[in-house]
Structure 1
Amino acid sequence: MSKNTLFFRATLSFILLAFLSCNSNQDECELDEEILAQDLNLKITRLEDDFFSAKTKEDFLFLFEEHPEFTEEYLQPELYANLDSLASSLLVVHQDSSMKDLYEAVKSKRGDISEVNKNLENAFKYIKHYYPEFEVPKVYTFVSGFNSDLFITDDLIVIGIDYFLPTDHPFQPDLPRYMAERYDLPYLVPMIVTALSSRFNEVDLQDKSLLAEMIYYGKAYHFAKAVLPCTPEGLIIGYTDEQVADSYSNEEYIWAHFVENELLYETNPFEIQKYLGEAPSTDAISTKAPGRLGRWLGWNIVDDYQISQEASLQDIMEEKDAELIFRLSGYRPRGIE
């Protein structure tokens, strides 16, 4: 029997039960009203409207002055001779017919992002709940010409909203299909929150093992789930519902592969990339297994660590010792008694 057959021997009944369980949990999930009651209001600024309305170099110079963080951090004026040069370059770009068509597509298909705004505001409230010192960054959308999907610093988030057109729209980023399918609005807030987790995710820089990388990603996804408690796992890690269900049904097989091949303490970057890197599948396990399975497995280990140690989110994110997290997690694949 081939490894492909072994991996996807999940029964239809298991998958159906997994779907029903996920949907049931999602329907029953409620956000914490006390957390949501915080005095925090987010308004995403649609900068593409202002920039595409600009007709002269002076208009752009005015916008630079109006949005200094965006100008300094995102537009990087130091790459140009001066602000006049930057303004002239943007004027040419924004008068290009293909860029105008892209902007019109964004206005037509992504004119309303109120749900994104609300979900991101709620996520910021949850981060504030866990980390009161968290300063809410300014959030902008922009039509980047498929040059930048997300730009995130401590005080600024720029969403390349053209990346998040409907997946069946003719305008698409130059990405493999398996990645492009994740560039849809439901994935946007989980992407941002997972990226923000890095500022709280303490690591041992001396540990170059696969286990350390798995735990790093596991902590990132655990953080995202804590901040977005009603968000399905698939939207956080970028799997379809079927991929999530199949991975759980084959968790014992996945774990056996890691153990039998003594992978946890592997330090070869090329070997590590097989289990953590972007790919349509984790071929080392099965060509039918979703990519990045090492990250998914790390998430399960971190979840078990939280349960076994009754650890707070802050404790988990501050723990640098990946080996300690693994050892104290008592991790066992689901289905093993």
Structure 2
Amino acid sequence: MVLFACGKKEDSCELDDEILSQDLTVEVVRLEDEFFNADNSEEFLYLLEKHPEFTSEYLQADLYPDLNSLSEDLVQVHQDSALRVLYDSVQAEFSDFSDVEKELEQAFKYIKHYFPEFQVPKVYTFVSGFNSDLIVTEELIVIGLDYYLPIDHTFQPDLARYMAERYDRPYIVPMIVTAISSFFNETNPQDNTLLAEMIYYGKAYHFTKSIMPCTSDQYIIGYTPEVIAETFSNEEFIWSHFVENELLYETNPFEIRKYIGEAPFTDAISTKAPGRLGRWLGWNIVDDFRFNQEVSLDELMANPDAEQIFRQSGYRPRPPQ
């Protein structure tokens, strides 16, 4: 069962040398070092002016009267002894960030291959004091490394355990790529059905798997391998629940949230069923659509018609193996 479940999207693979040969490099700027080495408001002010995108997007400078006020606030924050210990922990855990940097560069090359208009954003790391985990815009990416400390670390973000387990080093780049997928994921704003949500997330996960073909599904959707295997073994039962309860065209946001929103399990089906099952089903539908219709990745992402994608997918749940 494990081989079957993982085999659907995780066959042995090799990255495309032609794609990776592109002239594209990624430099990750370790801003936490610069900010924690600053001693006074003048030095913080210099850093704020040196990194205007970071200052505007991440530190939300527009909430302050001026940059001087923000720099003085940063002096107070960085004098906090607990934050200093948190920074030291991040330094110890992420002193070598080259593996993440390489994975991010490979992903950007794949995105650039499929979407030539993609412009590589500036990439920063930071220690936010658990104020912000990840910021992804078309111009800027900021990774709050304190969120990605090991799950058994003394300092932990204020997250439910089932969510905190996904904040680990192997999830960083898949999270970023999934966020970038939204720049290309066309939707119909008039379609507010559960099916539309399912297809949206299905396209997002399919995008991430296409960009990172050798990455385990575990790090894309956030299910453990055991949960993935069990979910595939119950795919017929899960699908019958959606069909028998006429859920695909449900528009009640409270009902939709039961199958799309973050939750430790989908209690409408079973307390043993993982949360976000609607997203998982949407991923299977989108996979089948692209395989059966032989469309390119950019054509898939540009298609806003969730109903068409579903109808033309020919989706049928896989029987237990």
Normalised by the length of structure 1, the TM-score is 0.93
Counterpart of 1:34 in structure 2 is 18
The residue type paired with residue 55 of structure 1 is: D
* Matched position secondary structure for 1:199: coil
Q: Distance in 2 between matches of 1:331 and 1:19?
A: 16
Q: Does 1:325 align with 2:309?
A: yes
Residues 268 and 98 of structure 1, relative CA distance in 2, 3 Å threshold:
same
Counterpart of 1:97 in structure 2 is 81
The residue type paired with residue 245 of structure 1 is: A
The residue type paired with residue 279 of structure 1 is: A
Moved more, 238-247 or 75-84: 75-84
Normalised by the length of structure 2, the TM-score is 0.97
Q: Distance in 2 between matches of 1:286 and 1:199?
A: 34
* Matched position secondary structure for 1:169: coil
CA contact (8 A) 1:46 1:142 kept: yes
CA contact (8 A) 2:9 2:217 kept: no
Task: Give every structure 1 segment of 4 or more consecutive aligned residues whose post-TM-superposition deviation is greater than 2 Å.
Answer: 17-25
* Matched position secondary structure for 1:139: strand
CA contact (8 A) 2:6 2:228 kept: no
Is there any run of 5+ residues in structure 2 with no aligned partner, and where? none
Is there any run of 5+ residues in structure 1 with no aligned partner, and where? 1-13
The residue type paired with residue 298 of structure 2 is: Q
Given the alignment, which residue of 178, 196, 209 partners 1:212? 196
Counterpart of 2:128 in structure 1 is 144
Counterpart of 1:277 in structure 2 is 261
The residue type paired with residue 299 of structure 1 is: W
CA contact (8 A) 1:214 1:299 kept: yes
Counterpart of 1:81 in structure 2 is 65
Counterpart of 1:133 in structure 2 is 117
Counterpart of 1:334 in structure 2 is 318
CA drift at 1:140: 0.3
Q: Does 1:198 align with 2:153?
A: no
Counterpart of 1:234 in structure 2 is 218
CA drift at 1:112: 1.4
Number of equivalences: 321
Q: Distance in 1 between matches of 2:9 and 2:294?
A: 26
Residues 103 and 336 of structure 1, relative CA distance in 2, 3 Å threshold:
closer
Q: Does 1:157 align with 2:135?
A: no
CA contact (8 A) 1:22 1:232 kept: no
Given the alignment, which residue of 227, 242, 254 partners 1:243? 227
* Matched position secondary structure for 2:142: strand
Residues 78 and 23 of structure 1, relative CA distance in 2, 3 Å threshold:
closer
CA drift at 1:71: 1.1
CA contact (8 A) 2:198 2:278 kept: yes
